[in-house]
Structure 1
């Protein structure tokens, strides 16, 4: 569409895309957006030996390690979400991820994945003095929040620049605000969890909120022992092997949507849907059945979709 500017780049092992109505200064935003995303990647990347995350994981136990403000905020949110989801989100699963090859060199370490440890016990966080302490032999892993957090940072920056209509995607995490040039809301595709192609199940209007999807269908490894997805089940410490399944969450912030999608995916459809219903989370669960795929949504998700339909979307 000629009335929409699209800015793209690379970050966090994937791509980002910013779409907004054509503005004279649109191209000038790209450098600032890239800088913000690079900042988060430099601090929180699990694939770099030189990130702040790697520095924390390499520090001796009980040593307090100074950290940037952004990283302290993400760890604080991770600990909060661990408590809120009753342990379904765990930011201390780095050892487990590396066992299955989801680490700095992508080479499986093999061996037995360690048991899950409560992150609120394993980590010390001093927000006032911006420092973190590993109290137990765990490795910090912020992949379940960092992408969403970067979306929130960029979105906040764009709004300070007077940009009120845009949709931003960072490696699959999306935030949209305002409207398209034709006055209609931005829409995003809710895809079937298929590893080799993109098949939209429906298109969802996104109005001043974020959407994130968790699943193993695009990031997994195969071996003689079967499928090992990148999502780790905190209750067992093992990589989840369900390939044809996903959870999508809509929330006010991208970091929260990112964290909740991961947590609900680890819970599974039955427990996750019950938790989303009880907690008023807008979530959709898609899983494979003998006849194709089953879509189950929480009441909050149905309420959101009905509200958008009522206002003419």
Structure 2
């Protein structure tokens, strides 16, 4: 009887040891993570064991939720909504991340001489691509001209030491053209901090790659051809440690009198 008990205990220890050993030798393969955030979808491929990928997804979703909570034009509690509701020359305290993105957006505005401009929010709304209701016809010239005085990146003042932003006119901010790319970078840096060196991060069409697949192949992505009624691949690209973003007028648009108006707007006109 005693021998039988000892033998049973020994088998149990061997089984536990075998299972524990398996967990340490879990194979690093291409894992796929996906979900929804920031008004769009995200897809991430990374080379790691499945159990680690599942744990990392919690951290990834936390990052995306934080960026969305601070930089959304739809949430009334966001930093941008607080800025929108603030008075002229009233400093608004915002997060470090918001400060960083606004400051970078203003730098790009200066480089592009105002053709990239985060104060375009009122025009985005007027054309039906913002938080307000969608529209089915182009706004009038007088409606546009009434808003143009409030468009201008020089009207935004950033105080990095006090972590505040203020404005010299009743302007608003829309960071949609830069916030997703910023979130991609944050997720990439998070993966690198967790010793993941081979990955492809995509949020709403903005991508950043690092390393290769387990086979040694580069990450490959398909650029869609700009057709409205069909989906066709225009070109396949191999990403070698680089980032890419695309935009077009064939998905987010409306037609009025036979003319297509998309979400790409000239802030000067």
Match of 1:163 in 2: 196
Structure 2 Cα separation of the partners of residues 87 and 105 of structure 1: 24
Q: Rg bigger for which structure?
A: 2
* TM-score scaled by length of structure 1: 0.71
Contact 1:116/1:234 (8 A) holds in 2: no
* TM-score scaled by length of structure 2: 0.82
Match of 1:78 in 2: 105
1:196–1:127 Cα change, 3 Å: farther
Match of 1:310 in 2: none
Structure 2 Cα separation of the partners of residues 126 and 234 of structure 1: 24
Q: Does 1:192 pair with 2:225?
A: yes
Q: Give the unaligned 5+ runs of structure 2.
A: 1-27
Contact 2:118/2:153 (8 A) holds in 1: no
Structure 1 Cα separation of the partners of residues 150 and 241 of structure 2: 36
Q: Does 1:49 pair with 2:76?
A: yes
Q: What whole-Å deviation, never above 9, does each CA across 1:170-189 have from its counterpart, x for those lacking one?
A: 01100110001110110111
Q: What whole-Å deviation, never above 9, does each CA across 1:9-68 have from its counterpart, x for those lacking one?
A: 101111001111241311111110001011111111122223211111111111000010
1:120–1:235 Cα change, 3 Å: closer
Q: Does 1:63 pair with 2:87?
A: no
Note the 1:100-115 alignment, pairs <5 A: 100-108=127-135, 110=139, 112-113=143-144, 114-115=147-148
Equivalent pairs counted in the alignment come to: 235
- Coordinate RMSD, CA, aligned: 1.9
Q: Does 1:8 pair with 2:41?
A: no
1:133–1:18 Cα change, 3 Å: same
Q: SS at 1:179's partner residue? A: coil
Instruction: Write 1 or 2 for the structure with the bigger share of strand.
Output: 1
Q: SS at 1:19's partner residue? A: strand
Q: Which has the higher contact order (CA 8 A, sep 6+)?
A: 2
Q: Does 1:17 pair with 2:43?
A: yes
Contact 1:179/1:186 (8 A) holds in 2: yes
Given candidates 92, 96, 114, the residue that maps to 2:123 is 96
Structure 2 Cα separation of the partners of residues 126 and 105 of structure 1: 30
Contact 2:123/2:267 (8 A) holds in 1: no
Structure 2 Cα separation of the partners of residues 143 and 205 of structure 1: 26
Q: Give the unaligned 5+ runs of structure 1.
A: 237-313
Note the 1:1-313 alignment, pairs <5 A: 3-23=29-49, 24-108=51-135, 110=139, 112-113=143-144, 114-115=147-148, 119-224=152-257, 226-236=259-269
